[in-house]
Amino acid sequence: MLKTKVRIASLAVLLTVLLAGCSQNNSSSPSATGDDENSPVTFSYYMFSPGKKDTLASETTIGKVLQEQTGVDWKLEYLVGDSATKAGVMIASGDYPDVISSSGEMSKLLDAGAYIPLDDLIEEYGPNIKRVYGPYFDKMKNAEDGKIYALPYTANQGEYSGSPNVGGGAFWIQRSVLKEFNYPKITTLDEYFDLIQDYKEKYPTVDGAETIGFVSLAGVANNFFTLQNPAMHLAGYPNDGSVMVDMTTHEAKVVAGTDAQKKWIKKLNEINAQGMLDPESFTMNKDQYLAKLTSGRVLGYFNYGWQIGDASKNLLSAGIDEKRYAPLPIVFDEGIKDQYVDPPGFVNNYATGISVNAKDPVRIIKYFDNLLKEENQVLVQWGIKDETYSVDEKGRFYYANEDQRKAHDDLELSRKFGFTYFGTDWPKYGGESTLTDGNAYSPGNQPEVAAASYTEGDKKFLEAYGIQTFSELFNKPEERPWFPAWSIALEQGSPEQIFTTKSDDLQRKYLPEMILGAPSNFDKLWDAYMAELNKLDKAGYEATITKVVKDRVAGKW
Amino acid sequence: MPPASSPKGTRAHLFFKRLVQQRTLAWMCIPFVIWAFIFKYLPLWGWTMAFQNFKPARSFSDQQWVGWQHFSTLFEDNTFYRVLRNTLVMSSIKLVLGFVTAITLALLLNELKNVIFKRFVQTVSYLPHFISWVVASSIVLTVLSPDGIINLLLMKLHLIDSPVLWMGKGEYFWGILGATEVWKDVGWNTIIYLAAITAIDPAQYEAAEIDGASRFKRMLYITLPGLKPVIVILLIMNMGSILESGFEPQYLLGNGMNMDYSENLDIFVLKYGLGMGNFSLGTAAGIFKTVVSFIFLFSANYIAKKMGESRLF
């Protein structure tokens, strides 16, 4: 009998343990309020942007300084894998961190009610937030309820300061090619490929391996735009995503299936027939692609600067200038004005917000407000005076020595100092801002810094073309008040979103087939592709985008 | 104890009698029954999502009910039939290749008399199992790239004139996937058969040898029949997952050029369900998958029963 009782008792204990393990502890109350304002606390911060190591903010110099000011530390977590899936899983489980930086997943998170409205918090605790974001509040308001849920990263302050270097899209060419032919000025796609072909004929191999004329990053699903976007750039449009927007009528037109796309794909088909295109463009993964770019075998490629940051840094530190690449604003025909450089715009859906699970929204909003003080904005971009930057007698910021430059440029050092972690994905001034004392907000945009960072090869290149900075090769952007159209949020599961997925799938299948096929087959394949594409609701998609573009032009964001 | 003649000897009575006798065992089962209930049965509640236009932020009573709409979307979508075909083909390839290669390897290993060599082969063959698919797929992509070892080899042997873009031809995908799966898992799958072989009575072999049976005959008439129960049970269990053709290899090896052959149900659910925040459609596809698996599992079990073989239940 006793035995049975013992058994029942132990079973009961086991059950309690089991059930306790299942129940969630939701009762953590907002603790630090009132007297102990700077008590130490750690919040979690999830970023839907990939490529960084997870860390504690206090393990970086910047994070440490900010922790001393506020007592707040952060567990920073970055995306691994596919962001749409991660967002879906996060929503399905309801397991939100304290703060979420949305990247492309904003509409999904908003739909799911993952964020809390910030209006009252800003009103009460956010003088600096008001100063920085005030002019943009209209563009930040949620269309449905007129509330603000998140703080974006593109709120420019002061005068516009453009970048001297090219971080956006461009046709890149190995500098040795330009040097070989004495730095010719090329503008059209035909000239670009002719030059590459001439060079490849002269130097069929590099270090024993075959020279690659042109390569694309079209094998990686979420980088397929690398193959799609050149069509609109070549036609003289900036990166509006999957559409080209007419400057006068503000009609949005889907790039897929246009003459521009046909011309671009046909050209690739042509150069493939000449053996200049790397067929692996459509099958390799990103690691293999970056390895190829750093091998010195590739003569040309199209990319956005931010897609290939690591490869560029590696090539730079390898020190062989000729194997590095120069950006060119290539267009279809002479007379088309290139628009590679993004016009000043405001992206309202790449933003950071406080989740419904946040333990202490007040502490978080206070931290954000403190972060937006100008001295802290200088800290996250420039660092600490005389340590990672210096100030000359006129008050201009610059790098006094190699160590200061390295603290920003070296991957590991900038990680340790925290530039990598605090440079973006936080409430901040827009990248093209100017500080109140006239210095550029981003060190990369400060002319003194850019000029000092140029290598001998850079200088030779700039001299050959008679320019001061690389961006002078490109045309100035025209004003596009709706820009960028890619930031237009589509409703989850809506016909527009289904169109995007279906038409992308279609292109992922047909474009490589057309490019790698025999030129005689091209028109037949194109017709088949168009027939499939026309089955989709293209008109409906275009109408939706056009409407939002027109709204934005009219000032309604 | 003649229970049949006793009036209390009904089946229910017997059941309770046995329950009391084996109460210790019964008690031990309870935590696992609770576990199964919480983690396997309670989640079935989520199936209701398939019949709603599910919005995550709303409470259950605020959801909009749409009946079978998501199922009809699914069955009207051409993509769905394509991914269904791919799923069935790929899992069949996996099933058949997996069984044949693992059993063959087990039989061959069993015939090896040199223990060190046997261990070496076994270790080498099951090592790839421990590599993650991310790494494994990178290896596959590199080996099969236009300047990878396979193309190099075939060129040197003059079997082809120019490098083949293996990953760019949809028709090759199933073959590549099958070969990859075998390479990765053949050693691991062999283990269970090798274990089953050790259970076969050595006396049978001795007797057969005296009767003059050759090695091949012994394999055919003793080892294989000895393995039969294991094979049948594993086959039934695998039939239940006929629509589980795997997810990682297809996702990692797939690209635009082969997606007509590489996309399977799981990737479809990921893209159109989770990826678009359309949880209802994803759930509908999941239910479909479960139902089909159920049918397969039960028919395989039924057939095994009819054939008088060992079976799952």
CA distance B197 to A276: 57
Surface-to-core class of residue B292, CB atoms within 10 Å of its CB (0-12 exposed, 13-18 middle, 19+ buried): middle
Among A109, A283, A532, the strongest candidate for a mutation testing the B interface, having the largest count of B CBs within 10 A, is: A283
**Any idea which residue has 């100017």 for tokens?**
A434
Cβ distance of A288 and B142 shorter than 8 Å: yes
Task: Please give, rounded to a whole number of angstroms, the shortest distance from the CA of B278 to a CA of chain A.
Answer: 6
Q: Specify whether the CB–CB gap between B239 and B98 falls below 8 A.
A: no
The per-residue pLDDT for range A442-481, each reduced to its tens digit, is: 998 888 888 888 888 889 999 999 998 888 899 988 889 9
Q: Which residues in chain A have Cβ-Cβ distances shorter than 8 Å to B132?
A: none
The per-residue pLDDT for range A51-84, each reduced to its tens digit, is: 788 999 999 999 999 999 999 999 999 998 788 8
Cβ distance of B260 and A84 shorter than 8 Å: no
Q: Is B166 left (phi over 0), alpha (psi -120 to 50) or beta?
A: alpha
Output the CA angle B100-B104-B106, nearest 5 degrees.
120
Output the CA angle A440-A443-A444, nearest 5 degrees.
105
Query: Is residue A30 over pLDDT 70?
Result: no
Task: Please give, rounded to a whole number of angstroms, the shortest distance from the CA of B145 to a CA of chain A.
Answer: 7
Contacts by A481-484, CB closer than 8 A, 24 or more apart: A481/A552, A481/A553, A482/A245, A482/A250, A482/A548, A482/A549, A482/A552, A482/A553, A483/A238, A483/A240, A483/A342, A483/A343, A483/A344, A483/A345, A484/A238, A484/A239, A484/A240, A484/A241, A484/A342, A484/A345, A484/A347
Residue A526's nearest CA partner among A321, A333, A164, A269 is A269
Looking at residue B24, what is its pLDDT? Answer: 92
Nearest CB among B57, B141, B252 relative to A113 is that of B57
Task: Please give, rounded to a whole number of angstroms, the shortest distance from the CA of A48 to a CA of chain B.
Answer: 14
Query: Is residue A23 over pLDDT 70?
Result: no
Residue A262's nearest CA partner among A332, A340, A334 is A332
Q: What percent of chain A has pLDDT over 70?
A: 94
Residues paired with A45 in a beta bridge: A76, A99
Query: Residues near B130 by Cβ (< 8 Å), separated by ≥ 6?
Result: none
Task: Please give, rounded to a whole number of angstroms, the shortest distance from the CA of A93 to a CA of chain B.
Answer: 9
Sheet of strand A151-152: strand arrangement: A55-56, A72-79, A41-50, A99-101, A351-354, A151-152
The per-residue pLDDT for range A184-228, each reduced to its tens digit, is: 999 999 999 999 999 999 999 988 888 999 999 998 888 899 999
Cβ distance of B275 and A112 shorter than 8 Å: no
**Position with higher pLDDT, A10 vs A408:** A408
Looking at residue B295, what is its pLDDT? Answer: 87
Query: Residues near A221 by Cβ (< 8 Å), separated by ≥ 6?
Result: A508, B255, B256
Query: Residues near A214 by Cβ (< 8 Å), separated by ≥ 6?
Result: A193, A196, A268, A271, A276, A277, A278, A298, A299, A300, A301
Secondary structure in 3-state letters for A449-510: HHHHHCCHHHHHHHHHCCCCCHHHHCCCCCCCCCCCHHHCCCCCCCHHHHHHHHHHHHHHHH
Nearest CB among B79, B142, B277 relative to A88 is that of B277
Handedness of CA A510, A516, A518, A520 (dihedral sign): positive
Looking at residue B245, what is its pLDDT? Answer: 78
Query: Residues near B200 by Cβ (< 8 Å), separated by ≥ 6?
Result: B222, B223, B226
Average pLDDT over residues A271-278: 94
The single-letter DSSP state of residue A444 is G
Looking at residue A1, what is its pLDDT? Answer: 47
Cβ distance of B56 and A513 shorter than 8 Å: no
- Do β-strands A397-398 and A390-391 pair in parallel, antiparallel, or remain unpaired? antiparallel
Cβ distance of B276 and A501 shorter than 8 Å: yes
**Any idea which residue has 């009782």 for tokens?**
A5
Looking at residue A252, what is its pLDDT? Answer: 94
Cβ distance of A283 and B257 shorter than 8 Å: yes
At A205 the three-state DSSP class reads strand
User: What tokens appear for A263 in the block?
Assistant: 């011309």
A:B CB pairs within 8 Å: 112
CA distance A144 to A152: 18
Q: Which residues in chain A have Cβ-Cβ distances shorter than 8 Å to B30?
A: 11
Contacts by B78-85, CB closer than 8 A, 24 or more apart: B79/A505, B79/B263, B79/B268, B80/B268, B80/B285, B82/B260, B82/B263, B83/B263, B83/B264, B83/B265, B83/B267, B83/B268, B84/B265
Task: Please give, rounded to a whole number of angstroms, the shortest distance from the CA of B275 to a CA of chain A.
Answer: 5
**Any idea which residue has 């956005």 for tokens?**
A304
**Position with higher pLDDT, A30 vs B288:** B288
Which residue does chain B place closest to A284, by CA atoms? B141
Looking at residue A360, what is its pLDDT? Answer: 93
Looking at residue A203, what is its pLDDT? Answer: 94
CA distance A473 to A171: 12
Query: Is residue A22 over pLDDT 70?
Result: no
Secondary structure in 3-state letters for A136-177: HHHHHECCCCCCECCEECCECCCCCCCCCCCCCEEEEEEHHH
Count other C-beta atoms under 10 Å from residue A93's C-beta: 9
Nearest CB among B79, B272, B277 relative to A91 is that of B277
- Alpha-carbon distance values, B220 to B194, B224, B225, B228 (Å): 15, 6, 8, 11
Which residue does chain B place closest to A227, by CA atoms? B256
Confidence band of A246 (pLDDT split at 50, 70, 90): very high
Among B137, B251, B255, the strongest candidate for a mutation testing the A interface, having the largest count of A CBs within 10 A, is: B255
**Any idea which residue has 């630090």 for tokens?**
A32
CA distance B75 to B59: 28
Handedness of CA A119, A124, A126, A127 (dihedral sign): positive
Residue A20's nearest CA partner among B235, B133, B102, B38 is B38
The runs of H, that is alpha helices, within B78-148 are 78-111, 115-126, 133-144
Query: Is residue A6 over pLDDT 80?
Result: no
pLDDT 10s per residue in chain B (313 long)?
444 444 556 788 888 898 899 999 999 999 999 999 999 899 888 888 889 888 777 778 888 888 898 899 889 888 899 999 999 899 889 989 988 999 999 999 988 888 899 999 999 999 999 999 989 999 999 999 888 899 999 999 998 888 888 998 889 999 999 999 999 999 999 999 999 998 899 899 999 989 988 888 988 899 998 888 888 888 888 887 777 778 889 988 988 888 899 999 888 888 888 888 788 888 898 889 888 888 888 888 888 888 776 777 7
Looking at residue B7, what is its pLDDT? Answer: 52
Average pLDDT over residues A356-381: 94
Surface-to-core class of residue A17, CB atoms within 10 Å of its CB (0-12 exposed, 13-18 middle, 19+ buried): exposed
Residue A114's nearest CA partner among A40, A52, A48, A22 is A48
CA distance B69 to B50: 9
Which residue does chain A place closest to B28, by CA atoms? A11
Looking at residue A46, what is its pLDDT? Answer: 96
Q: How many helices (H) and strands (E) does chain A have?
A: 24, 16
Surface-to-core class of residue A395, CB atoms within 10 Å of its CB (0-12 exposed, 13-18 middle, 19+ buried): exposed
Nearest CB among B38, B255, B277 relative to A492 is that of B277
Q: What angle separates helix B115-126 from helix B170-198, to the nearest 10 degrees?
A: 140
The per-residue pLDDT for range A481-538, each reduced to its tens digit, is: 998 898 888 887 788 988 998 899 999 999 999 999 999 999 999 999 999 999 999 9
Looking at residue A45, what is its pLDDT? Answer: 96
Q: Specify whether the CB–CB gap between A303 and A226 falls below 8 A.
A: yes
Looking at residue A21, what is its pLDDT? Answer: 46
Looking at residue A426, what is its pLDDT? Answer: 95
Task: Please give, rounded to a whole number of angstroms, the shortest distance from the CA of B39 to a CA of chain A.
Answer: 10
Cβ distance of A89 and B30 shorter than 8 Å: no
User: What tokens appear for A370 in the block?
Assistant: 């403190």
Nearest CB among B35, B138, B272 relative to A285 is that of B138
Task: Please give, rounded to a whole number of angstroms, the shortest distance from the CA of B289 to a CA of chain A.
Answer: 20
